[in-house]
């Protein structure tokens, strides 16, 4: 929602709040088969992508999200070779995953090809790895892809989805997580973006319950800053087939061979700490001690 020609504003009705960015101009707008995509040039946050009125990413701060959706789960898995990204059409998460030399293949399943094509045009730095021979870009329904995939054929599933509305709504269900459980190998892990830990606490509880019903015995919700999203604070929820996903390849993480702007070993540990208000009515410890590999 734009208040006037100089500002783009996203209203978060459930929290009674709004976030605004001063814009220089609207660069693009189109209605695809699935959603309305808008691209703006902002005054301080660079290029901005908006889908159905909700901010998806900006040049200025997308690195928080893309790094935290990829590196924690990849350093948690003992040997991540086969990775699937559901959604992620801007390709920022794909770029981060492919920084890991042990990864042999990444399949990205994005329902709306226009998200990727517009990202290639307006966010080319996020698409630098699109031509990597290990990457396969599919423009299809991620729910169906997982349902039809071979059992135990994937090490990690990253669900880089929009909010649980429209095409993404089915990604937040026990039925989807059950299919993911079947597709993952014995050490398999899933990570799913899980909205604001301040505003969307019920959604996070519902996601974790759905993962448990699907067969994942324990879950871990990590948190990190994300200035352009409601509350400026975001989360991702991990689940593993072998229990709580707290195993960490400490040495590999501490000596990572690629640059990051936010993620490092200390950030990984800090992101697993549980705020006191999350613990109300639970037996979870505030400090999650990783098992190092």
CATH numbers and ranges of domains, the chain: 7-58 (2.30.140.10), 62-292 (3.40.50.150)
Share of the chain above pLDDT 90, in %: 85
Is residue 282 over pLDDT 80? no
Query: Which residues are designated catalytic?
Result: 160
Degrees to nearest 5, angle at CA 199 with 63 and 203: 90
Which among 174, 169, 166 is positioned nearest to 190, based on CA atoms?
A: 174
The residue ranking higher by pLDDT, 162 or 276, is 276
Mean pLDDT of 158-168: 72
Separation of CA 82 from chain center: 17
CB-based burial label for 139 (10 Å; 0-12, 13-18, 19+): middle
CB–CB of 174/213 below 8 Å? yes
pTM score, two decimals? 0.94
What per-residue confidence (pLDDT) applies to 287? Answer: 64
The residue ranking higher by pLDDT, 1 or 171, is 171
What per-residue confidence (pLDDT) applies to 3? Answer: 47
Separation of CA 100 from chain center: 17
Per-residue confidence at 34, pLDDT binned at 50, 70, 90? very high
Share of the chain above pLDDT 70, in %: 92
Number of neighbouring beta carbons within 10 Å of residue 185:
17
Degrees to nearest 5, angle at CA 240 with 116 and 290: 105
Q: Which residues, in sequence order, are CB contacts of 195 under 8 Å at separation 6+?
A: 163, 203, 204, 234, 235
Mean pLDDT across the chain? 93
């Amino acid at each position: 929602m734009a208040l006037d020609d100089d500002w783009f504003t996203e209203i978060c009705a459930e929290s009674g709040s709004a976030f605004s960015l001063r814009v220089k101009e609207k660069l693009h707008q189109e209605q695809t088969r699935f959603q309305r995509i808008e691209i703006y040039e902002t005054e301080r946050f660079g290029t901005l992508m908006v889908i159905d009125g909700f901010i998806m990413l900006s040049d200025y701060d997308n690195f928080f999200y893309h790094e935290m959706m990829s590196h924690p789960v990849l350093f948690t898995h003992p040997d991540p070779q086969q990775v699937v990204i559901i959604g992620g059409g801007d390709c920022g998460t794909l770029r981060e995953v492919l920084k890991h030399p042990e990864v042999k293949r990444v399949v990205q399943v994005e329902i709306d090809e226009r998200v990727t094509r517009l990202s290639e045009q307006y966010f080319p730095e996020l698409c630098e790895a699109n031509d990597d021979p290990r990457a396969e870009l599919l423009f299809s329904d991620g729910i169906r892809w997982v349902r039809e995939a071979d059992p135990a054929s994937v090490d990690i599933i990253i669900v880089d989805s929009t909010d649980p509305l429209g095409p993404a709504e089915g990604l937040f269900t026990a039925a989807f997580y059950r299919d993911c459980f079947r597709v993952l190998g014995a050490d398999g892990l899933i990570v799913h973006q899980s909205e604001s830990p301040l505003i969307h606490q019920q959604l996070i509880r519902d996601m974790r319950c759905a993962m448990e019903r699907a067969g994942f015995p324990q879950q871990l919700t990590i948190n990190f800053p994300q200035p352009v999203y409601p509350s400026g604070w975001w989360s991702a929820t991990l689940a593993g087939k072998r229990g709580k996903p707290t195993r960490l390849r400490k040495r590999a993480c501490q000596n990572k061979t690629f640059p990051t702007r936010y993620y490092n070993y200390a950030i990984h540990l800090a992101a697993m700490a549980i705020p006191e208000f999350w613990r109300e009515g639970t037996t979870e410890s505030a400090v999650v001690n990783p098992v190092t590999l």
